[in-house]
Amino acid sequence: MSETSWADHLDLMIRARTPIIWIRSLEEQRVEALLEQAARRLGNRTLLRWDFVDGLRGAPNREGEASRNPMAALSCLDSLPAEQGAILLLRDFHRYGEDAGICRRLRNLAGSLRQTPRTLIITAPDWKVPPDLDDCITLLDLPLPDAEEIGQLLSSIAAASGRALDPPVLRQLTAACHGLSEQRVRQLAARALARRGQLGADDLAEVLEEKRQAIAKSDLLEYCPSSSSPADIGGLESLKHWLEQRRRAFSEEARAYGLPLPRGVLLVGPQGTGKSLTAKAIAHSWSMPLLRLDVGRLFAGLVGASEARTRDMIQRVEAMAPCVLWIDEVDKGFGLGASSDGRSDGGTSQRVLGTVLTWMAEKTSPVFVVATANAAERLPPELLRKGRFDEIFLLALPGAEERRAILDLQLRQRRPGHSLPLEVLVDRTAGFSGAELEQTVIEAMHLAFAERREFGEADLIAAASQVVPLSRTAREQLEALEQWASTGRARPASRLRGVTNSDAR
């Protein structure tokens, strides 16, 4: 929702005499500015403001009244003429919602305000509304500034500095500032003006750093710098080709062509088959920041806190857009089990999952979601429904040709120009995952290094004989994965089918 349509919706709610509105936002100054505009549009209604420290503002001869007295703040409208339309903006007020007297007073006001052209506005970033106030309070989320608003803000700041922005630079800065609050955009612009006296392309790096710091302040997300590329992945040619096709789908050219923004991809497969490496390679090759979400961090002990953390996570992710969101081991966080069946945790897991899935299906921001899972049979059906992801890929254990490619890649990274024969080793490593092949090369180097000599084919074969592959230790899990994939629910990530559990035996 743009700010214009949001303002129209706010006007409608006030004209309809909605008694108490909770505007969910951290941007107090922006909320106040929007209410000032609404008050003018709706016939010059009086706008009063209250917070716990400064008390009442906006009423002649009453400045500072009701300081540190939230109950008295609710009486601020009583002294106005009966026919005078008014809006009372309350800050900090959500902290007193559990008080019995405050709660009773709000319920009384909800009835009386419907008879007068007066509205109570409470602004807060989060609030667990008491059940007996559910019917009295209407929630209105304030969205972050959209591209048009950010562009207008940057243009006005640049014009005020005496140096207008060139259109290409304005477009770049506007896109970079997507997801930031108006206050943060103003702060970035103020620093740029203090440093160089103008806004320009040099500020792009600082915008990204501002977003990184916002992520660092949160314990929900981890910023993952990556230098990996698709060339660092052995095999998975079908998956890499699919990703290359979508690389340009975030461009304006794709929008003009009629393509929607890519939603994301679900990578399913046993451990060590390259799911995490693929997530890192996508972010690096697409020149996007990579944010890793551990689903377990969303859940908190207090009632309603998990849902609030989920909304906070989504807002922080969109503030980094365009970006790649890596949901690691989604089957453990949202999988079918005792902790997510809606019984043992009061339905919190299902509500959090529902919030994430709704966002994934409806998001308009350039966030590409990469979810990884080891146990496909634990994934909830609603996660696999069409529209959540653009595609689901199965990363099976590598076949012979892929094992050769992975071993050759690992050797070239550590011994450029190697000429070691790999035929015997490829045969001896049937059932090995990519991670186990990498560990085989590293172990062979350890064997030779301990004897102060160059390693060779015999060391690689000896190292492979010491590895007990996942295809033996987790045979049942791999069989279940094969059965799940055989129904056509996932697309093979490799052009050549990977080794099956029976092949490994």
Instruction: Tell me which amino acid residue 245 is.
Output: Q
In this predicted structure, the answer to whether residue 344 has a pLDDT above a threshold of 80 is no
Do 430 and 444 lie in a common domain?
yes
Tokens of 41: 């549009």
Please state, in angstroms and rounded to a whole number, the distance separating the CA atoms of residues 69 and 51. Answer: 9
Q: Is residue 247 part of a domain?
A: yes
For residues 339 and 235, membership in a common domain is answered with yes
pLDDT reading at 285 higher than 50: yes
**How many angstroms separate the CA atoms of 122 and 235, rounded?**
56
Q: Are residues 238 and 379 in the same domain?
A: yes
The domain boundary residue, chosen from 217, 250, 271: 217
If asked whether residues 195 and 169 sit together in one domain, one would say yes
Report how far residue 28's alpha carbon sits from residue 123's, in angstroms, rounded to the nearest whole number.
7
Average pLDDT over residues 234-263: 90
Q: H or E segment at 264?
A: strand 264-268
Domain that holds residue 370: 223-394
Q: Which CATH number belongs to the domain containing residue 40 in this structure?
A: 3.40.50.300
User: Could you tell me if 194 and 254 lie in one domain?
Assistant: no
Most confident of 42-46, 194-198, 383-387: 42-46
**Residues in a beta bridge with 224:** none
Computed over its alpha carbons, how large is the radius of gyration of the chain? 29
For 491, the token pair is: 């697309």
CATH number at residue 414: 1.10.8.60
**One domain for residues 250 and 367:** yes
Residues linked to residue 264 through DSSP beta bridges, in sequence order: 369
Backbone angles phi, psi at 219, to 5 degrees: -95, 10
* pLDDT of 1 above 80: no
pLDDT tens profile 404-440: 999 999 998 888 877 889 999 999 999 999 999 999 9
The pLDDT of residue 325 is 96
Which residue among 394, 429, 449 closes a domain? Answer: 394
In the chain, the N- to C-terminal Cα span, in Å, equals 56
The DSSP bridge partners found for residue 23 are 123, 140
| Residue 484: inside a domain | no
CA distances from 247 to 122, 266, 319, 394, 437 (A): 43, 17, 21, 20, 29
Domain shared by 126 and 254, yes or no:
no
- Band (pLDDT 50/70/90 cuts) for residue 502 is very low
- For 473-497, the DSSP string reads HTHHHHHHHHHHHTTT-SEESSSSP
Residue 480 confidence class, pLDDT cut points 50, 70, 90: confident
Q: What is the pLDDT of residue 31?
A: 96
Does residue 438 sit in the same domain as residue 358? Answer: no
Q: Would you say residue 488 lies in a domain?
A: no
Structure tokens at 180: 């930031």
**pLDDT digits 0-9 by tens, 46-90:** 999 999 999 999 988 889 999 999 999 999 888 788 788 999 999
Confidence grade of residue 497 (pLDDT, cut at 50, 70, 90): low
- Find the mean pLDDT for residues 481-500: 75
Strand partners, 124: 24
Domain boundary among 200, 217, 234: 217
How many domains, in total, are found in the chain?
A: 4
Mean pLDDT of 226-241: 86
200 shares its domain with 267: no
Q: Residue 364: inside a domain, yes or no?
A: yes
Dihedral of the alpha carbons of 38, 42, 44, 50, in degrees to the nearest 10: -50
Are residues 358 and 264 both part of a single domain?
yes
Answer yes or no: do 136 and 90 share one domain: yes
Q: How far is CA 205 from the centre of its chain?
A: 21
112 lies in the same domain as 160: no
- Asked if residue 206 is part of any domain, the answer here is yes
Of residues 232 and 57, more confidently modeled: 57
Number of residues assigned to the chain:
505
Residue 275 inside a domain? The answer is: yes
Residue 480 lies inside a defined structural domain of this protein: no
Per-residue pLDDT at 34: 95
Q: Is residue 75 part of a domain?
A: yes
Confidence of residue 122 (pLDDT cuts 50, 70, 90): very high
Give me the chain's average pLDDT, please: 87
Q: 124 and 93 in contact (C-beta within 8 Å)?
A: yes
